[in-house]
């Protein structure tokens, strides 16, 4: 399949994105309050002195250079530095060094944990129940058709959970710029009524796909779409899928922890040519991928 051409943003698109990504005053106040409370949890409060040191060094000698991920804070915080520049070239270079942007409150930070939760495609587990649901083929999956809508859905309120999101407008605009440049991609899951019911997005760099976030509005829709998405990554020659931190969803799919040094070695071995820059297109459907046996190290014809 020929890679589609990269589509530059136009003024109307930027205006629409400004409206779509905007936070209400309530959203901002809630994010800040919950972000502070989250930072003061017992498991995280110990990192505050180290974070204060990073902020102080940044104030005294603000630099646009990327920090060394090996000097990131310990534990789940893993903050390496302050992210001043979220341009496309800087983000691509950051991902090549295992860094990624994040932050509920205050300046956006560069993060990189000492271990990463990744998927080697031949180890992917597809649950029997999920296979049965995929065989019904009741949902349609597309790629790169509603990147902005997927991001917005990933940031939306979720039933039974506090609304704390790191997907702030500035970060969403930065990922949208990566999408315009052909390096960020989404998968969308649509029901029979044409409604967006699940999806996810991430960034492709040096043969590694960095999954950023997913959402589901109907049962298992993101899992089905993500399975089909990983089928394509395997078919196209990607080396692995980095999910960053373990979650119940990716743990069930056999993502596992590896040292950051192993991820860096993979990135050093890969190239941007493996990443198929441009718009992606879905090449099969859920019913076909339901028969995939990843341990065979091949994808169905």
Q: Which CATH number does the domain housing residue 279 bear?
A: 3.40.630.70
Which pTM was predicted? 0.87
Dump pLDDT digits (tens) for 183-201.
Answer: 999 999 999 999 999 999 9
Q: What is the CATH number of the domain that holds 63?
A: 3.30.70.3550
Lookup: tokens for 45: 């409060």
Has residue 2 got a pLDDT over 60?
A: no
Give the contacts of 279 (CB within 8 A, at least 6 positions apart).
Answer: 3, 4, 5, 6, 7, 143, 144, 182
Question: Are 76 and 142 found together in one domain?
Answer: no
Residues 6+ apart with CB under 8 A from 11: none
Predicted pLDDT of residue 193: 96
Minimum mean pLDDT among 61-75, 114-128, 145-159, 261-275: which range?
Answer: 61-75
pLDDT at 31 > cutoff 60: yes
State how far the Cα of 168 lies from the Cα of 22, in Å rounded to an integer: 8
- Range from 18-22, 33-37, 53-57 that averages highest in pLDDT: 18-22
* Residues belonging to the chain: 301
What pLDDT shows up at residue 1? 46
- Structural tokens at position 60: 């005294």
Q: What pLDDT score was predicted for residue 161? A: 63
Say how many domains are in the chain. Answer: 2
Say if residue 133 is in the same domain as residue 231.
yes
Judgement on whether residues 89 and 66 belong to the same structural domain of the protein: yes
Tens-place pLDDT, residues 60-114:
666 668 988 987 766 556 888 889 999 999 999 999 999 999 987 788 999 999 9
């Amino acid at each position: 399949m020929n890679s589609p051409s990269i589509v530059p943003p136009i003024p109307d698109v930027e205006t629409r994105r400004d409206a779509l990504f905007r936070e209400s005053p309530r959203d901002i106040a809630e994010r800040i309050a919950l972000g502070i409370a989250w930072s003061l949890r017992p498991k995280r409060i110990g990192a505050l002195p180290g974070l204060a040191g990073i902020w102080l060094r940044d104030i005294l000698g603000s630099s646009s250079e990327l920090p060394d991920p090996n000097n990131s804070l310990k534990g789940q915080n893993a903050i390496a530095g302050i992210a001043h520049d979220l341009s496309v070239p800087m983000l691509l270079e950051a991902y090549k060094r295992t860094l990624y942007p994040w932050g509920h409150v205050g300046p956006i930070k560069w993060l990189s944990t000492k271990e990463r939760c990744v998927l080697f495609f031949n180890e992917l587990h597809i649950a029997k129940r999920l296979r049965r649901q995929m065989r019904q083929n009741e949902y349609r999956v597309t790629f790169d058709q509603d990147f902005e809508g997927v991001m917005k859905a990933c940031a939306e309120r979720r039933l039974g959970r506090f609304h704390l999101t790191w997907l702030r407008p500035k970060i969403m605009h930065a990922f949208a710029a990566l999408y315009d440049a052909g390096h960020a991609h989404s998968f969308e899951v649509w029901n029979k009524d044409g409604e967006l019911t699940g999806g996810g997005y991430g960034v492709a760099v040096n043969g590694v796909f960095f999954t950023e976030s997913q959402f589901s509005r109907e049962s298992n829709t993101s899992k089905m779409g993500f399975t089909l998405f990983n089928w394509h990554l395997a078919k196209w020659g990607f080396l692995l899928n980095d999910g960053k931190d373990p979650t119940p969803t990716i743990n069930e799919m056999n993502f596992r922890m590896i040292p950051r040094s192993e991820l860096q070695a993979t990135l050093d071995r890969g190239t941007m040519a493996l990443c198929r820059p441009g718009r992606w297109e879905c090449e099969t459907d859920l019913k076909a991928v339901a028969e995939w046996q990843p341990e065979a190290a091949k994808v169905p014809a």
